Structure 1
């Protein structure tokens, strides 16, 4: 079986921190109960714990769930850390995230930090 990211209808990331000790059933229940999404559709759901060098991906292939675990040997991912929510991203953003780039850079206010 080849894992094909292009077969996904949608890509979702759980922002914030998720307990990566959770398995297939717990993550599928999280998607369904907390966000009212059907984990049995051909979507990809990504979760990151407190360490930014690893994440999990959950998806249904029509016959069963896949739970993928990725740990970077060197480097880390720039996971959005705002409060926990499920955000939809596109394939390009997914690739950027996997390559270690920011997908939603924060803009900080410069108010009061300069004078004219």
Structure 2
């Protein structure tokens, strides 16, 4: 699946024992955002080798879980408001183990002709 709304990275460390209810409470109470929106919320553990993605879809929550067997996610420093907005390319970079400031990504091409 791909996100239909915004993608928010919850900066800092999250207890990965939390499930849908606990993570949605973090979104609602700490971030003061709506967990029932079309947004994706991404959480990471202290070791940076596990992450969870929470989002609402029509009539229920999805909770994706990813664990790296080797290496870590390139997680950014915590932000003052606790959340960082990601673009869809940045989401793919993060899930692929790349930095969000990836300078090697391809730029969109415009005005091409055959």
Task: State TM-score, norm by structure 2.
Answer: 0.81
Equivalent-residue separation in structure 2 for 1:51 and 1:76 (angstroms): 7
Q: Is the 8 A contact 1:17 1:81 kept in 2?
A: no
Specify which of 63, 77, 83 is matched with residue 81 of structure 1: 77
Equivalent-residue separation in structure 1 for 2:77 and 2:12 (angstroms): 4
Larger radius of gyration, structure 1 or 2?
1
Residues 67-76 or 93-102, more deviating: 67-76
Specify which of 6, 10, 13 is matched with residue 14 of structure 1: 10
Equivalent-residue separation in structure 1 for 2:77 and 2:67 (angstroms): 18
Cα deviation for residue 12 of structure 1 reads 0.4
Structure 2 residue runs of 5 or longer lacking an equivalent are: 103-114
Cα deviation for residue 104 of structure 1 reads 4.2
Cα shift readout 1:13-72 (whole Å, capped 9, x = no counterpart): 011111111111111011111122111011110000111111011011111011111001
Q: 1:95 to 1:40 in 2, by over 3 A?
A: same
Equivalent-residue separation in structure 1 for 2:75 and 2:52 (angstroms): 12
Structure 1 residue runs of 5 or longer lacking an equivalent are: 106-116
Give the match for residue 42 of structure 2.
46
Find runs of 4+ consecutive structure 1 residues off by over 2 angstroms. 81-84
Please show how residues 1-116 of structure 1 align to structure 2 within 5 Å.
4-6=1-3, 8-82=4-78, 85-104=82-101
CA RMSD in angstroms, aligned pairs only: 1.6
